[in-house]
Amino acid sequence: MGNVQPTIIEYPDFDVIADIKAIRKACKGLGTDEDAIINILANRSCAQRLAIKQAYFDKYDDEIVEVLKKELSGNFEKAIVSLLDSPIVFAAKELRKAMKGPGTDEDILVEILCSRNNQELWHLKNTYCELFERDLEADIESDTSGDVRNLLLTLLQADRDEGFDVDEDLAEADATALFEAGEGCFGTDESTFTHILAKRNYLQLQATFKVYESLSGTDIKDAIKSESSGTLKDCYITLVRCAKNLQLYFARCLKRAMKGAGTDEDTLIRIIVGRSEIDLETIKDMYSEKYDVTLRDAISSECGGDFKKVILEILH
């Protein structure tokens, strides 16, 4: 989607042996040199971090993740460990965690599944299967219900049109169908919303939302808020936001994670680590544009200790 910028790129003078020795040294003896660990892992690309993980095992016959888990704790440990997975493996683990045990963390399902493109969704399904020997679609099916289940399963078919063509007639037809399925009728016909929001390309959806507004006099998000509730509403709103501006959507998620008392560190890690090599620089721009404060400053005032250090290092 346009020109987006990461915060982490390949480290130019990468020396995997020097890095693993430095990490080994940081974990040896009394106390841990957290700064050394942060400086290395938060300044290497994912491919370089995975090379460090492998080289560490080859040289010391030890899993670097287990070594670091013994030395670190809390959210700092979570952030460092997440850096040692590829973003797709990390996302698959987050999905599994959201569905394990009693109850389901539907917010995580919505955030991950509604914001991914076709290729990422295929990759996610395959990775999930490799990691857990389970079928992602089957797990979603048994862990969710009703319209939410239908929507998430439709998204997991991963066959959204990803072109850039806009068909004005289709926008007109879709906007009318959405109106008639929602505001224009008693009750809401969810299957129409699900089909259009999950299958059309983003530019097509933007055109549809414009027509919808001129047709009904209501912004599509307001219509959704008055027509649906709970997780289904969250899904639809997320799909609308992602179609309009994916990076702004993630900026909003970060803002929400820091709202009110307490901070949702898991969401900070998921987005900041997960988007660092894709579009985190652009997400930072969107954040300061929307909230008149930099993401750096927001995180500085919300987080503390080594967790804050590693997150700010990833933000650059």
Superfamily, domain 168-244 = Annexin (1.10.220.10)
Predicted local confidence at residue 256, as pLDDT: 95
**In this predicted model, what pLDDT tens digit does every residue of 118-141 receive, in sequence order?**
999 999 999 999 999 999 999 999
d(CA 46, CA 289): 28
Contact 292/250 with Cβ under 8 angstroms?
no
Longest dimension (CA), the chain: 70
Contact 296/7 with Cβ under 8 angstroms?
no
> Other C-beta atoms within 10 Å of 194: how many?
23
Contact 135/99 with Cβ under 8 angstroms?
no
Length of the chain: 316
d(CA 52, CA 92): 21
Contact 231/148 with Cβ under 8 angstroms?
yes
**In this predicted model, what pLDDT tens digit does every residue of 4-14 receive, in sequence order?**
999 999 999 99
Contact 38/313 with Cβ under 8 angstroms?
yes
Going by C-alpha positions, the residue among 236, 232, 264, 273 that lies closest to residue 106 is 232
Going by C-alpha positions, the residue among 286, 288, 306, 307 that lies closest to residue 297 is 288
Three-point CA angle 207, 108, 50, nearest 5°: 105
**In this predicted model, what pLDDT tens digit does every residue of 62-83 receive, in sequence order?**
999 999 999 999 999 999 999 9
Residues in the chain predicted with pLDDT less than 70, given as ranges, are 1-2, 185-188
